[in-house]
Amino acid sequence: PLSHILHFSSGPKMVLTRLCVALASMALNLIPQAWSQPVADMVKAFQPQKPDSEDGAKACQDPHSHCMTLLELLTVLPEEFQSCRLAQARRAQLRDALTGEWSVVCTVLRQLLQSQDSSDQVKEKVLRCLSSWVGLDVPLGGSHELVQDCFSTLSNPALFGTAVETIVDSISQPDCQRYVDALLSLMPLVLGLYEQLKAAVQDGDMET
């Protein structure tokens, strides 16, 4: 299935989206007994390969498309989990398995958000992917640095709206009160937005 998705990473978009949803659904059926670490496997499959490897030339052809496809997969996986009907015990088992791989996702998202080579399109997808995983109540204590990185995107008008939604989602988790230190580390960044908000009001920018 991963090879098929790699093949369609440059489009058509409808086919790619359906393949990603299908793979996410399959992963949820196989976790954890038949497929213990689907996220780690997906990340590994979409990492740039060495040019001398058989798949290396293909992987290096369009790294942007492969990056966007990986982000699509990582975004769809928790969304499919949220939408599927499951027995309570199975839902708890799947949630534990997915949150157990959050550190892998978090590392990838931080790298892409910090990279100067990442386009606005990639960064927006990173923000949406984070919002998707926040829905699983992933621990803020282990991801507050990623949330901090999100604040840096607020200065980009193309990313501002998505960044605000992602930050709000991240610090509005039901379990947030358990991570006091993480919340305190984010507080200066939140307070720092006051000047930006005040300037927007003075400029008549009611959208901001």
Instruction: Tell me how far apart the alpha carbons of residues 206 and 200 are, in angstroms, rounded to a whole number.
Output: 7
CB proximity list for 169: less than 8 A, separation 6 or greater: 130, 131, 134, 135
Q: Is the pTM of this model over 0.95?
A: no
Break the chain into its structural domains and give their ranges.
1-100, 109-208
Instruction: Tell me how far apart the alpha carbons of residues 105 and 17 are, in angstroms, rounded to a whole number.
Output: 19
Residue pLDDT, tens place only, 11-52: 778 888 899 999 999 999 999 999 999 999 999 988 765 444
Residue pLDDT, tens place only, 138-186: 887 778 889 899 999 988 999 999 999 998 888 877 666 666 666 676 6
